Amino acid sequence: AGMGRTLVELFYDVISPYSWLGFEVLCRYRHIWNIDLRFRPAFLGGIMQQTGNKPPAMLPKRGEYMLKDIKRMAKYYQVPVQVSGDDFQRIFATSSLPAMRFITAVDMTNPQYLEPLSREFWMRFWSQHEDISQPENILAVARQAGLSSELSQKVLEMISTPAVKDRLKETTAEAMKHGAFGMPAVVAHYNGEPHHFFGSDRLELLGSVIGE
């Protein structure tokens, strides 16, 4: 972190619509707040499995509320999340593992593309309702985010390597070490200790804790 700046880590997965909301809002705040924002791509499926958490929409009443909540937040924050009842089935049927490995590989090799790439994955899945799990979809997202075909192909070949798999596992484990049980997990390192905030609706509380 820069002089006197607070390091804020955002642990996220592109399968999570609330992660997108948190991501966009923190991207705006980093220009106003005295923070260094660090994106930490992690795997939500791994966190759910290891903490015994269940997708909120498995509880029908909670699923109903979530639909309204995401729509309201999307409008409030001006983030183009498009959500309908069918989306919960779509989430259950999609593995974000290849996408999160691809994002991790980009973070390791070409981090300047991390932000636009992550945004494009959310756009494709949550705005355009298209698949993000197949190699051809991943390559299309990468091209949209500004990666050359050559680089996209190279990164795609990296996703099956132990280095990338291990890095994603390590980041996911790190999120859980801070207390994460879902996503987004925001960790602010302030006054020598980490402060964990869950979700995209605790950002004013985050600001208050770090003196913003």
CA-wise closest residue to 13 among 195, 162, 185: 185
Cis, bond preceding 184 (omega within 30 deg of 0): yes
Nearest to residue 121, comparing CAs of 26, 209, 19, 197? 19
> What is the chain's percent helix, strand, coil content, to nearest 5?
60, 10, 30
DSSP string, 156-194: HHHTTSHHHHHHHHHHHHHHHHTT-SSS-EEEEEETTEE
For residues 34-47, b (16+ Cβ closer than 10 Å) or e, as one string? ebebebbbbbbebb
Q: Are 102 and 43 in contact (CB under 8 A)?
A: no
Strands 6-12, 35-41: pairing kind: parallel
Q: Show which residues are catalytic.
A: 16
How do 6-12 and 193-198 pair as beta strands? unpaired
Phi then psi for residue 81, to 5 deg, are -75, 125
Dihedral angle computed from the Cα positions of residues 27, 115, 123 and 23, in that order, rounded to the nearest 10 degrees: -30
